[in-house]
């Protein structure tokens, strides 16, 4: 078991800095996911932790020990890559034991570790096969097995599932989460898929352009995003945003004027900001309900298309003229494209962000 600590970690390629002084403490045994759009620095961070990339400045500590200058092989880490190469001419068993033989480990110890990993990953029946005789998911398990046998303090995964088809990805997601439960090791997992992050992580670091925008549990990020980037990145479908201003503020209520002459009243204790401030209101597709009448409505939603999934319905359209908007209602709906639907917000679930700083005004 080992904590993993990053202090003011920076990386430059030539004159271009791509990781800008990241601070992070991952607790022992935690499953931490780095998520963010392509090019934000996820792999670079992971490779600096692994020792595969020079650190420009700052520190990496594993279990409290400074490892910034320790070679990769001695850091007690093991990494699974997006494109993992198994040795095609070796059996599964040989693929699993090869790395340990290179370390001149005793035969019995190798046998023990390989058998243990095979049992854990449920590949015992496949031990004599060659990689070419395995399915994609089985190959992925062997690749993970190669890291498991090294009994590392910390596991690092860089998009290990991105080469698999959708169904297998979901299954492997569950397997890696189960592996984490069984082993209890600290794990860092990189993905650009926020659903993967939400379903697997104890803690998520949302990255953008070389910085961590927010670090927290999946539900912290979903419920309390600190800025519009995190609010828009975490959660599916993407949060709806409407431009507006703070029109009025009393001891109890705050009134927002929104595009399309819409007006919304929220609890003053929940939302900061002063009268006249320009804001963006954010509301998730499933945090609205149909109003009984236009008088009761806070938004008029011009529905353009409808997706009936049986158990739930997605409505796509616009609010205030041309701001695209999505609403998710439970069950089946009579609403069709072309309808103008009066909607009410669930006020305690509405987000308000300062338009200039993009920061949340929720208190």
Ligand X SMILES: Nc1ncnc2c1ncn2[C@@H]1O[C@H](COP(=O)(O)OP(=O)(O)OP(=O)(O)O)[C@@H](O)[C@H]1O
Q: Binding residues for ligand X, per CB under 6 A?
A: 13, 18, 36, 38-44, 192
Structural tokens at position 234? 């975490």
Question: Least CB distance from residue 212 to ligand X, whole Å?
Answer: 12
Question: Least CB distance from residue 9 to ligand X, whole Å?
Answer: 12
- Output 13 or 87, the one with its CB closest to ligand X: 13
- Output 49 or 77, the one with its CB closest to ligand X: 49
List for the chain the helix, strand, coil content (%; round to 5): 30, 35, 35
- Output 35 or 303, the one with its CB closest to Mg ion: 35
- With binding defined as CB under 5 A, does residue 43 bind Mg ion? yes
Question: Least CB distance from residue 180 to ligand X, whole Å?
Answer: 21
Euclidean distance between CA atoms 201 and 222, whole angstroms: 13
Euclidean distance between CA atoms 336 and 341, whole angstroms: 10
Question: Least CB distance from residue 226 to ligand X, whole Å?
Answer: 20
Euclidean distance between CA atoms 193 and 188, whole angstroms: 15
Considering only residues 125-154, where is the footprint of Mg ion by CB under 5 A? Answer: none
Q: Which of these ranges, 42-50, 66-74, 223-231, 274-282, lies near Mg ion under the rule CB under 5 A?
A: 42-50
Euclidean distance between CA atoms 120 and 185, whole angstroms: 14
Cis peptide before 260 (omega within 30 of 0): no
- Output 157 or 241, the one with its CB closest to Mg ion: 157
User: What does 40 bind: Mg ion, ligand X, none (CB cut-off 5 to 8 Å by kind)?
Assistant: ligand X
Euclidean distance between CA atoms 325 and 239, whole angstroms: 9
Euclidean distance between CA atoms 27 and 23, whole angstroms: 13
- Output 159 or 354, the one with its CB closest to ligand X: 159
Question: Least CB distance from residue 5 to ligand X, whole Å?
Answer: 20
User: What does 153 bind: ligand X, Mg ion, none (CB cut-off 5 to 8 Å by kind)?
Assistant: none
Euclidean distance between CA atoms 78 and 57, whole angstroms: 23
E strand or H helix that includes residue 147: helix 136-148
User: What does 192 bind: Mg ion, ligand X, none (CB cut-off 5 to 8 Å by kind)?
Assistant: ligand X
Residue 196 dihedral angles phi and psi, to the nearest 5°: -60, -45
Are 32 and 203 within 8 A, CB to CB?
A: yes
User: What does 313 bind: ligand X, Mg ion, none (CB cut-off 5 to 8 Å by kind)?
Assistant: none
Q: Where are the alpha helices (DSSP H) in 12-135?
A: 42-50, 92-102, 107-121
Question: Least CB distance from residue 85 to ligand X, whole Å?
Answer: 18
Q: Which of these ranges, 36-44, 90-98, 282-290, 303-311, lies near Mg ion under the rule CB under 5 A?
A: 36-44
What angle is formed at CA 5 by the lines to CA 2 and CA 10, rounded to 5 degrees? 145
- Output 39 or 338, the one with its CB closest to ligand X: 39
Euclidean distance between CA atoms 14 and 19, whole angstroms: 13
How many residues belong to the site for Mg ion (CB under 5 A)? 1
- Output 43 or 186, the one with its CB closest to Mg ion: 43
Question: Least CB distance from residue 40 to ligand X, whole Å?
Answer: 4
- Return residues touching Mg ion (CB under 5 A): 43
């Amino acid at each position: 078991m080992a904590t993993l600590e990053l202090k003011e970690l920076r990386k430059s390629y030539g004159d271009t800095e791509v990781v800008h002084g990241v601070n992070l403490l991952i607790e022992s045994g935690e499953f931490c996911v780095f998520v963010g759009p392509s090019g934000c620095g996820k792999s670079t961070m992971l490779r600096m932790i692994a020792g595969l990339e020079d650190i420009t400045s700052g520190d990496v500590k594993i279990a409290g020990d400074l490892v910034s200058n320790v070679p990769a092989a001695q850091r007690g880490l093991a990494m699974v890559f997006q494109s993992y190469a198994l040795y095609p001419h070796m059996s599964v068993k040989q693929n699993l034991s090869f790395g340990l033989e290179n370390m001149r480990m005793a035969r019995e110890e190798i046998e023990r570790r390989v058998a243990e990993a095979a049992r854990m990953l449920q590949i015992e029946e496949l031990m004599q096969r060659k990689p070419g005789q395995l399915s994609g998911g089985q190959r992925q398990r062997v690749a993970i097995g190669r890291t498991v046998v090294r009994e590392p303090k910390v596991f690092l995964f860089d998009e290990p599932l991105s080469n698999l088809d959708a169904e297998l990805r979901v299954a492997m997601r569950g397997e890696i989460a189960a592996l984490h439960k069984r082993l209890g090791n600290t794990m860092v997992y990189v993905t650009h898929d926020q659903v993967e992050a939400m379903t697997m992580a104890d803690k998520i670091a949302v990255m953008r352009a070389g910085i961590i925008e927010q670090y927290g549990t999946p539900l912290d990020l979903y419920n309390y995003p600190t800025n519009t980037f995190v609010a828009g990145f975490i959660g599916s479908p993407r949060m709806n945003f409407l431009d507006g201003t703070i029109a009025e503020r009393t001891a109890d209520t705050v009134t927002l004027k929104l595009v399309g002459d819409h007006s919304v009243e929220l609890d003053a204790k929940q939302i900061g900001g002063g009268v006249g401030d320009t804001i963006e209101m954010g509301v998730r597709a499933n945090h609205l309900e149909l109003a009984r009448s236009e008088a009761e409505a806070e938004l008029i939603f011009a529905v353009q298309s409808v997706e009936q999934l049986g158990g739930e319905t997605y409505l796509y359209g616009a609010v205030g003229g041309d701001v695209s908007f999505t609403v998710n209602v439970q069950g089946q709906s009579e609403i069709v494209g072309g309808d103008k639907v009066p909607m009410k917000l669930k006020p305690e679930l509405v987000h308000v962000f300062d338009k200039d700083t993009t920061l949340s005004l929720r208190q």
